[in-house]
């Protein structure tokens, strides 16, 4: 049973960092990826620089060198290519002055092939920005394909390159045109995967993103929007803010958030969002059983 630390007071995020013992993965001059979603222009629910700056400052105080990062999107928008994506991050305040660290977006060709040898994938395509040490800073919210978006999604879909994101979304194997289709090996292929398939594939990518690495997780259960921060809008929150969670286990922290956010399940009654948790646990990413420790 892994520990998940919690506070309902976001101003105590640095204390949460301490009590969760997250400094143990930081060594002098370590480069540390702060994996975050910078928010599509027009969206206002994404995590804000002042909400995560305390984490960057803590890492620096222990000798680490943090940088905010994400991989480019498969869909068209202002986070599709590195230059625009970086500008979006800066427009949303992810600068050294406002966020305590700079932002970095890798190019598609900097993709790493990580061997996972799991049910759906033998290897996964992960951005070079994942490095060796990761703090995943996740805005926990609803999602119209996976039911909810938490740490598993931030790692898996988030660290997947555009090619990787396509592979997570598509289901060409079960398409009757697969033998003749010329699009299925390109970024123009269809996004046909079922929710269950996408959730399992996403968990395999998350497994690849953190394989042989030291990682820690913060989930923010605030501004809970019904949908992903990839949309250029979000609407009002579907529930009151809960707080911030910290853990070394991406499955335990997502389970703890989902247990506090039952409302998300009612928005997508046809999606079983526990598939990603069950499958992530099955492949060894973490544990659904957790012990909550209140600050």
Alpha helices in the chain (DSSP H): 13-19, 49-61, 82-91, 96-99, 151-159, 162-169, 195-210, 250-260, 262-267, 274-282
Q: If binding is defined by CB under 6 A, does position 257 make contact with ligand SF4? A: no
Q: If binding is defined by CB under 6 A, does position 172 make contact with ligand SF4? A: yes
Pairing mode, strands 243-247 and 2-7: antiparallel
Q: Which is nearer to ligand SF4, 66 or 193 (CB)?
A: 193
Write phi, then psi, for 49 (nearest 5 degrees).
-55, -45
By three-state DSSP, how is residue 294 classified?
Answer: strand
Residue list 19-48, contact with ligand SF4 (CB under 6 A): none
Candidate ranges 14-22, 82-90, 106-114, 184-192; the one touching ligand SF4 (CB under 6 A):
184-192
Candidate ranges 18-26, 93-101, 176-184, 248-256; the one touching ligand SF4 (CB under 6 A):
176-184
Q: Which is nearer to ligand SF4, 175 or 295 (CB)?
A: 175
Q: Which is nearer to ligand SF4, 112 or 189 (CB)?
A: 189
Task: Tell me how far, at minimum, the Cβ of 189 lies from ligand SF4, in Å.
Answer: 4
Write phi, then psi, for 6 (nearest 5 degrees).
-145, 140
Q: Which is nearer to ligand SF4, 181 or 283 (CB)?
A: 181
> Rounded CA gap, 280 and 150, in Å?
12
Residue 261 near residue 219 (C-beta atoms within 8 A): no
Q: If binding is defined by CB under 6 A, does position 1 make contact with ligand SF4? A: no
> Rounded CA gap, 285 and 288, in Å?
10
Q: Which is nearer to ligand SF4, 14 or 178 (CB)?
A: 178
> Rounded CA gap, 222 and 137, in Å?
13
Q: If binding is defined by CB under 6 A, does position 60 make contact with ligand SF4? A: no
Q: Which is nearer to ligand SF4, 192 or 233 (CB)?
A: 192
Q: Which of 87, 190, 239, 295 binds ligand SF4 (CB under 6 A)?
A: 190
Q: Which of 60, 87, 181, 283 binds ligand SF4 (CB under 6 A)?
A: 181
Task: Tell me how far, at minimum, the Cβ of 172 lies from ligand SF4, in Å.
Answer: 3
Phi-psi region of 148 (alpha: psi -120 to 50; beta: other; left: phi over 0): beta
Candidate ranges 46-54, 79-87, 168-176, 197-205; the one touching ligand SF4 (CB under 6 A):
168-176
- Which residue is listed with tokens 């480069």? 31
Q: If binding is defined by CB under 6 A, does position 187 make contact with ligand SF4? A: no
Dig out the tokens for 290 from the structure: 């957790």
Classify burial at 205, counting beta carbons within 10 Å of its beta carbon; exposed 0-12, middle 13-18, buried 19 or more.
buried
Q: If binding is defined by CB under 6 A, does position 191 make contact with ligand SF4? A: no
Q: Which of 14, 96, 178, 187 binds ligand SF4 (CB under 6 A)?
A: 178
Q: Which of 50, 119, 122, 183 binds ligand SF4 (CB under 6 A)?
A: 183
- Which residues are within 8 A (CB) of 147 and not within 5 positions of it... i.e. 6 or more apart? 195, 199, 264, 265, 268, 271, 272, 273, 276
Question: Which residues are near ligand SF4 by CB under 6 A?
Answer: 170, 172, 175, 177-178, 181, 183-184, 189-190, 192
């Amino acid at each position: 049973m892994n520990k998940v630390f919690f506070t309902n007071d976001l101003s105590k995020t640095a204390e949460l960092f301490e009590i969760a013992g997250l400094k143990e993965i930081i060594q002098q001059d370590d480069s540390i990826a702060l994996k975050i979603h910078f928010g599509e222009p027009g969206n206002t629910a994404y995590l804000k620089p002042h909400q995560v700056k305390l984490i960057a400052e803590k890492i620096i105080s222990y000798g680490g060198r943090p940088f905010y990062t994400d991989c480019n999107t498969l869909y068209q928008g202002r986070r599709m290519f590195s230059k625009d994506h970086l500008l979006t991050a800066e427009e949303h305040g992810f600068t050294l002055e406002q966020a305590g660290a700079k932002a970095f977006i890798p190019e598609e060709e900097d993709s790493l092939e990580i061997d996972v040898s799991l049910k759906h994938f033998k290897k996964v395509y992960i951005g070079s920005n994942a490095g060796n040490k990761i703090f995943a800073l996740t805005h926990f919210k609803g999602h119209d394909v996976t039911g909810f978006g938490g740490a598993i999604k931030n790692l898996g879909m988030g660290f997947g390159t555009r090619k990787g994101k396509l592979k997570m979304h598509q289901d060409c194997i079960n398409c009757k045109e697969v033998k003749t289709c010329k699009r299925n090996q390109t970024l123009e292929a269809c996004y046909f995967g079922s929710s269950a398939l996408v959730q399992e594939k996403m968990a395999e990518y998350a497994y690849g993103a953190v394989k042989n690495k030291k990682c820690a997780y913060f989930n923010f259960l605030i501004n809970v929007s019904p949908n992903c921060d990839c949309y250029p809008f979000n609407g009002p929150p579907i529930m009151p803010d809960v707080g911030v969670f910290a853990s070394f286990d991406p499955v335990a922290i997502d389970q703890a958030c989902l247990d506090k956010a039952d409302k998300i399940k009612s928005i997508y009654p046809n999606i079983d969002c526990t598939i990603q948790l069950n499958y992530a646990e099955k492949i060894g990413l973490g544990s659904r059983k957790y012990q909550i420790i209140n600050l």
